[in-house]
Every structure is written in structure tokens, then in C-alpha cells.
């Protein structure tokens, strides 16, 4: 299989499908519509041998100056373990290096063993200096 990673937004439907299929927390159609519209940077992975089907994605959200967060890194299960997460992160990191000002704080939440991938791009644990916290509105 051949893949291509480009700067582009998925559709709301594809975004929701990828999140749920990859095991990320589901998002409502309204939430997904707002989120995608407000993306600072978005990349998608295309399967060029299957009509350019979108099989992965990643986004950068935030104010573009002081604070940004890497989110929505996911690849469909049947395409995992092929280095596609690294391709997504490389494309996002290129944007970070090219477009964001120095002193911008970029963070992320690493699930499972994904911290090994993110460490390759300079991300480090913040503990014990800081403690990550989160909340999902219900």
C-alpha cells in the first residue's frame, strides 16, 4: 500500500468515523464541525491505492502564538504499524517549526506507548513539575 500525507481537513463525517474506529472518544456532529473549522493545522493520510481514501489524521489546535496542542492523531487499525503516525507527526512538526513563533508552548496527551513517537519530536514528560489534567463536558 502507498500513502500520502497532506495538509487538509477531513469531512465532519470522516473525522467522526476515524476517531471512533481508532478508539478515540466519540464527538458529536456539532462538536466536530466547530473543531474542524477552528483547526490551526490539519493533516490527513491518503491511501493512494484505494481512491485516496482517508485512513488517518492529526491536528494542531490553539491560538497559534502562545499555546497549541497536538490532537486527533489516529490511523485506522488495518493501516497501523506502518510508520503512518510518524508521517503525521513529521508533517505537523514541519508546520510547528515553520509557522509558530519561538516560545510557543506545544503540548499533547500521549496514550499508551505513543510517548516514544512524540519524544522523537522533542516532547518530554512534564511530571513532576506539572501535572496534566482533563475534563469532558457531559
- Tens-digit pLDDT profile for residues 31-63: 999 999 999 999 999 999 999 999 999 999 999
Please report the pLDDT score of residue 132 as a whole number.
87
* Beta-bridge partners for 61: 69
Report whether pLDDT(138) > 90. no
Name the nearest CA neighbour of 27 among 91, 74, 84.
Answer: 74
Angle (CA) 20 24 29, round 5°: 55
Report whether pLDDT(1) > 70. no
Angle (CA) 20 34 30, round 5°: 60
Q: Which residue has the cell 508546520?
A: 95
Domain boundaries, the chain: 3-119
Q: What is 3-119's CATH number? A: 3.40.630.30
User: Is the pTM value of this prediction over 0.85?
Assistant: yes
Amino acid at each position: 500500500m502507498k500513502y500520502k500525507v497532506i495538509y487538509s481537513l477531513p469531512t465532519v463525517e470522516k473525522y467522526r468515523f476515524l476517531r471512533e474506529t481508532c478508539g478515540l472518544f466519540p464527538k458529536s456532529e456539532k462538536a466536530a464541525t466547530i473543531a474542524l473549522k477552528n483547526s490551526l493545522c490539519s493533516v490527513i493520510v491518503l491511501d493512494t491505492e484505494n481512491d485516496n481514501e482517508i485512513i488517518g489524521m492529526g491536528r494542531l489546535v490553539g491560538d497559534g502564538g502562545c499555546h497549541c496542542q497536538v490532537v486527533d492523531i489516529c490511523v485506522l487499525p488495518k493501516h497501523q504499524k506502518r510508520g503512518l503516525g510518524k508521517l503525521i507527526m513529521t508533517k505537523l512538526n514541519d508546520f510547528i517549526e515553520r509557522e509558530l513563533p519561538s516560545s510557543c508552548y506545544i503540548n499533547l496527551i500521549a496514550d499508551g506507548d505513543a510517548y516514544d513517537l512524540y519524544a522523537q519530536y522533542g516532547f518530554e514528560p512534564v511530571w513532576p513539575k506539572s501535572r496534566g489534567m482533563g475534563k469532558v463536558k457531559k
